Structure 1
Amino acid sequence: MDDHVTGFEQTSTEDLRERAVELARRRWDVRFFWRLLGLIPAAEAVAGNKEASEASVAQASSFLYEALSAESDPGVQEALRPVYIEYLSEHGEDAGSESTGSRSAPEGEEAPEGKD
C-alpha cells in the first residue's frame, strides 16, 4: 500500500512505528509483533546489515526460548502439547527422534547420510 493512498506520506517513519506499536499493545495484537519479529532480519539485510540480520534471528530465537522456558504452569504446557506435536510432525520428526538433530526423512524421501 502506498503512503499517498493511506494519507501517511507526511508522517515520519519513527512516528509510524511508535503509533503502530502502541496500537498493537492496546489491542494485544500478538500477530503484529510476531510479524515484526519475522520481518526485522529481512529489513536489516535490505538495509545492508547482514551481520545484524543474522544476529536478529538468533536474538528472536533466544527470546522465544526464554519466554517458553519461563512458563512453568504445567496446565499451559499441556494445552500447548498439540501445537508441539503438529510442528514436529510437519517437519518430519517422529516420537522416537531425539533433540540431537537427528530427524526422519519426510515420507517419500531418503534420510540424509548419517541420519535415521
Structure 2
Amino acid sequence: MSTPDTLEELSSKELHDLAVSRAKRHLDLRFFWRLAQILPAAEAGAGDMEGAEADVQMLRAHIDDITASGRGEVVETLRPFYVEYLREHGIHSA
C-alpha cells in the first residue's frame, strides 16, 4: 500500500525547510551543490536579476543564498526542486 503524496499540499516555504533539514541531517552536500547551481536561475525567474548576476560571479554568494532560498519569490521558483529532492529520498509528507 503506497502512502499518498502530500508534498504538493505543503507551502513552498515548508518544502524548503523540509528539504534543507533533511539535507543537513544527512550531510547531503550534493543537494546543497545542486541548489547553488540552480539558485541564480530561480532568482532571475523571481525577478531578482541583481541577485542572479551576483551569484554567477561569486560562489560565496551561493552559500549566503542557501539560507535565503526559503523566502520570498525565490522559494516559489525552487518549489519543484524541493519536491523532487524529497520524493527521491522517500519523503511524501511533513
The TM tier, using the shorter chain, reads 0.5 to 0.7
Gaps of 5+ in 2: 64-94
TM-score by length of 2: 0.55
Unaligned runs of 5+ in 1: 65-116
Segments of 4+ in structure 1 off by > 2 A? 61-64
Closer, same or farther: CA 7–57 of 1 in aligned 2, 3 Å: same
Higher relative contact order (CA 8 A, sep 6+): 2
Pairs aligned (count): 60
Aligned match of 1:46? 45
Matches within 5 A, 1:1-116: 6-60=5-59
Compute the RMSD of aligned alpha carbons: 2.3
Q: CA deviation at 1:56?
A: 1.8
Cα distance between partner residues in 2 of 1:63 and 1:52: 10
The alignment's TM-score, normalised by the length of structure 1, stands at 0.45
Q: Deviations over 1:32-72 (max 9, x none)?
A: 000000010010111111111011223325778xxxxxxxx
Q: How far off its partner does 1:10 sit?
A: 1.6
* Higher-Rg member (1/2): 1
Structure 1 residues 62 and 16: CA distance shift in structure 2, 3 A:
closer
What residue in structure 2 maps to residue 105 of structure 1? none
